[in-house]
Structure 1
């Protein structure tokens, strides 16, 4: 499936951005322009079932295939958040960016059974402005606006694959390209054991102190600072 895309900049370098579940390319409203100012042509996708992209069947392999169908190979850097980090990890051997950044990726979870509650995500799709602001007290008002808009354009059926298998099955065994894993503090996805595994297998792991799961909205400066040497 060819995905809807949003672009910033016209630089000689290319950066790819892949959002998390319940979101879309609008989540990168500050990151896209910031990378463009650094000389990148930035391309952000709407995953299937999100934003202006088409609906259909859902699953990790399909999310990954869509990235391959839509995005250019050999980008200078690719950044995937949460579900986007999972999709990027499954597509990285075909996209082959120079560097990959996985921002609090959905590769595992700290829950005892290794699963995320899909029904809780679906229920979150009906969140009000007040709910979003209360859950994310560090967000700018503009990010609350974006969250409301992206929830309105999200197909909740995208969450159902999460109940089919433990996320622990997606923890990579090695980086395909030089890779940074950027973690929230604390991360409900990548716990201490998973982080230690990633370090042992040659991923660089950095934690953005005090940041929530959507690091780039919770602490934009911390997010960008954590990318030093990678963008």
Structure 2
């Protein structure tokens, strides 16, 4: 487990308080068979292909949510940061996903034709609804788990590595220094914002942080199960 002193967990901060609300969720994420399957190499490639397809759909709406959150920011610097991150989410889709698709024997047509799963649809809808209808702090708290949990998971999995080069490439993306810098940038903004929130505002935002952290577990679980819509 990453210790509280690591760079992704600033002590005595709003971000630290947010993380305290998912202390039971994060171990469940880290122990999920989808993620353990990445490091031991036993994950079904079909489940990984499913994940890549769903992640491509997810990142498009995540980029939209980041842009909306940025539009509500109090400073030009914060708005610019989220604009960069929204563009970065699209770049991940274009680079990492396009390379993985070829290695998984898929093409762009198959990706586009993949049905958006119930979990992907629900998670994206929640993010967009919170970004549109909530305050800047609420939207920030809702998008934060995708940054922070991926960085922590990437660091944990990198320590173990993977015998499958496709899985290792995914791990390296989120364990890399470039992504760590992005996450620390948004954590710094999180703590700046948190310092000015009332107790009511902070509690409301934390509820969104917990909810989207649960959605992170659900997203990997849906890929592991290769979730399908009922009555299809």
Same fold by TM-score, threshold 0.5 exceeded?
Answer: no
Greater per-residue strand proportion: 1
Computing the radius of gyration from Cα coordinates, the structure with the larger value is: 2
Higher RCO (Cα < 8 Å, 6 or more apart):
2
> Going by fraction, where is helix more abundant, 1 or 2?
2
TM-score (norm 2): 0.30
